Amino acid sequence: MAFRDLREFLGVLEEKGELIKLKKELEDGYEVSALAWELAERSGPAVQFHLKGYDIPLVMGLHGTLRRNCIALGLEPKESDKENYYQIRNFIAGLLESKDKWIKPVKVDKAPCQEVSLTGAEVDLGKLPVAKWSPMDGGPYITLTNIITRNMASQQWRRNTGMYRVMINDKTTTNVMCCATQHIGIHIAIARQKGMKTIPLAIALGVDPVINIVSTTKTSFGDDEFDFAGAIRGEPVEMVTCKTVDLDVPANAEIIIEGNLDIDPEGATIEGPFAEWMGYYEEPMMLPRFHVTAITHRRDPLYATCIVGHPKNDGEVIRFPVIQANNYNILRRVVAGFRDFVAPWNTRGYKVVVQVNKRYPGWGMQAALAALTTSQGFASANIAVAVSEDIDPWDQDQVDWAIATRVDPALDVVILPPSGVYPLNPAASQRVDVDSETGYTEYSFVGKMAIDATKKLASENRRPTGTTVEPDYQALEFVRKNWQSYGL
Ligand SMILES: Cc1cc2nc3c(=O)[nH]c(=O)nc-3n(C[C@H](O)[C@H](O)[C@H](O)COP(=O)(O)O)c2cc1C
Ligand SMILES: [Mn+2]
C-alpha cells in the first residue's frame, strides 16, 4: 500500500468522511488556530479551506486522530485509541528493526513539485497561506515541515529529514528550530566543526502522509528516513534534485522551499515566542537563519499545516505513537523483565512509564533508570515510573495509584543531577543558545527522577506490597447475570 501523494490520501479521507471541504473562507490566522483547537477537542475531521488574502488552499488535521494515522500507514483502524496506539507503535517499532525491508528512494527527472519554479526576485514566502496563529507568536509559522539536510562530513549521501518549526521573517528568510539533540542539530555541529558557514537545506511541504510520519519518528542518527518510508510504503519514495541546492526532495510534494542555512553563530537571529505542543509559549531564542534561494511548487499547490498547543492537536497525535518507538525497541533489549513502555499522551513525553515483570530485587529501579538514560529518554523525559504487570501503563489512573501506594519516597525515588537536554522542556533552566566549545545549538539543563512504583518484595528488605482487592469473580459473574433481579 502506498499513497502516491497528499492528494491521493485526501481523496481516501474524503471518501471515508474524514475530510470536509469548507465552503466558508476563514478570516485570519487566529480563526484558523481556534478551528484547529476545536477540531482537536472534538477529534473532528481534517479540513480543507481558504484563508482570506491567499490563493493557495490549506489542509489541516491530516494527522489529527490515531484513526487517520492508521489510514496513512495502511493499517486497518480499530475501535479505540488504545488499540490504534499499540497498532501504530508496534508497526513502526517492528519496521525500525527490520532494515532488510527498508527501500532506497529512486531519482526522477521530472517532478510535480517543480511544475513552477521561482528563484531570485520571484521568491516570496508571503505568498504561502501562513499567518500568525496565536496572539503571542513571534511571527507566522510553518509547522508540518519535512526538513532535509545532509551530514556534510560524510563521503556518502547521509541525509536526514525531521519535522522542525519554521518562523517566517520576511520574503526570503526564516529561522529553523534546530536543537542539539535532534539530527539536524548534529548536522549543524559537524558542519561548524569543519569550519563551514552555511549548509544546504530544503523544506518539503504537502507530502504523502508517510513522509510526515517518518520525519517525526526518532530513527538512529545516520539512518535515512526516506529508506524507512520505503519500508512503510512497500515501494520507494521518488526524489528529485533541487533547482538551486545539492539536495534531493520528494518529487510528489506540493511545495518545496530551498536554500542555505546560515550556521555561523553570528548569523543567528531571534525566533519566537511560539505557542508550542507542550502547552506553553516557547520563549524566544537565537536560531540559525535560513536564506531561501528558490520556491518550487505544483501548478495548483495545496498547503498542509497543523497548529499545535492543544493536547490532542495533530502534532501531538502524530508524535505520540511514533516518537518513542525507537526507545521502546532499546528498552525491550536492555530492561530485565521488560513488558511495555508508554510515554503517556497527557504528559507530552516528559513522564514515561515502563512496565516490568520483577523477578529479582531491584529490577523496578533498574527499569526506571534505563528509561531515563537511553538517548531519547535522556533528551526528553524528566520522570520515569516503573510499574508491575498488574498496572496498565496506558492507564494513568492506575499508574498514579501505584505511585501513591507503592512508593516510599525515601527509598524508591532516585534524583539524577541536571544535564543538557532538549531545550523545549518547560521545567528546564539555563538555556544555552550556541555552545562555542562543541558547536551544538540550543539545549537546557534539567535533573531527572526515577520512581520505582513496582510491587515491593520481602527480598528487597521491604514490607511486601499487599494483596490487591479483587471481587470473587464467580460471585461477580453471578451478580452481573442477575442484575435485573436487584431492581437496579
Ligand atoms: C508538528 C511538529 C513540530 C515539531 N517541531 C519541532 C521543532 O521545532 N524542533 C524540534 O527539535 N523538534 C520538533 N518536532 C519533533 C521532531 O520532529 C522529532 O523529534 C523528530 O524525531 C526529529 O527528527 P530527527 O530525529 O531526524 O532529528 C516536531 C514534531 C512535530 C510533530
Ligand atoms: Mn533523523
Query: In CATH, what is the architecture of 6-318?
Result: Roll (2.30)
**Annotated domain spans of the chain:** 6-318, 324-460
Q: Give residue 438's pLDDT.
A: 62
Residue minimizing CA distance to atom 21 of ligand 1: 218
Task: Tell me the one-letter amino acid at 79.
Answer: E
Residue 185 Cα: closest atom of ligand 1: 27
Q: What is the DSSP letter of 152?
A: T
N-to-C CA span, the chain:
51
Residue 161 Cα: closest atom of ligand 1: 26
Residue 319 Cα: closest atom of ligand 1: 31
* Cα 40 to middle of ligand 2, angstroms: 27
Residue 63 Cα: closest atom of ligand 1: 31
Ligand nearest to the CA of 186: 1
If DSSP codes are grouped into helix, strand and coil, which group holds residue 338?
A: strand
Q: Give residue 468's pLDDT.
A: 95
Does any ligand 1 atom lie closer than 6 A to the CB of residue 160? yes
Closest CA to 88 of 341, 320, 395, 385: 320
* Cα 368 to middle of ligand 2, angstroms: 25
Helix then strand then coil, % of the chain, to nearest 5: 30, 25, 40
Q: Give residue 241's pLDDT.
A: 98
Residue 212 Cα: closest atom of ligand 1: 31
10-residue mean pLDDT profile of the chain (488 residues): values are: 94 98 98 97 97 98 97 97 96 97 98 98 98 96 97 82 98 92 90 94 98 94 96 98 98 98 92 91 90 98 95 88 88 96 90 96 97 82 96 97 98 93 83 66 85 97 96 97 96
Does any ligand 1 atom lie closer than 6 A to the CB of residue 315? yes
Q: Spell out where 133-188 has E strands.
A: 141-142, 146-150, 159-162, 166-168, 173-176
- For 266, residues 6+ apart whose C-beta sits below 8 A from its C-beta are none
Burial 342-379 (b: 16+ CB within 10 A, else e): bbbbebbbbbbbbbbebeeeebbbbbbbbbbbbebbbb
CA distance linking residue 465 with residue 462, whole number of Å: 8
| Prior bond of 105 cis (ω within 30°) | no
* Cα 463 to middle of ligand 1, angstroms: 44
Query: In CATH, what is the architecture of 324-460?
Result: 3-Layer(aba) Sandwich (3.40)
Query: For the whole model, what pTM was predicted?
Result: 0.94
If DSSP codes are grouped into helix, strand and coil, which group holds residue 368?
A: helix
Task: Tell me the one-letter amino acid at 28.
Answer: D
* Cα 341 to middle of ligand 2, angstroms: 21
How far out from the chain centre does Cα 370 lie? 22
Task: Tell me the one-letter amino acid at 302.
Answer: L
* Cα 162 to middle of ligand 1, angstroms: 6
Could you tell me if 259 and 293 are in contact, meaning their C-beta atoms sit under 8 angstroms apart?
yes
**Torsion angles phi and psi, residue 414, rounded to 5:** -120, 130
By most ligand atoms within 8 Å of CB, the mutation choice from 181, 190, 216 for ligand 1 is 216
Could you tell me if 186 and 129 are in contact, meaning their C-beta atoms sit under 8 angstroms apart?
no
Closest CA to 125 of 282, 28, 244, 255: 255
By most ligand atoms within 8 Å of CB, the mutation choice from 150, 163, 274 for ligand 1 is 163
Q: What's the alpha-carbon Rg for the chain, to the nearest Å?
A: 24
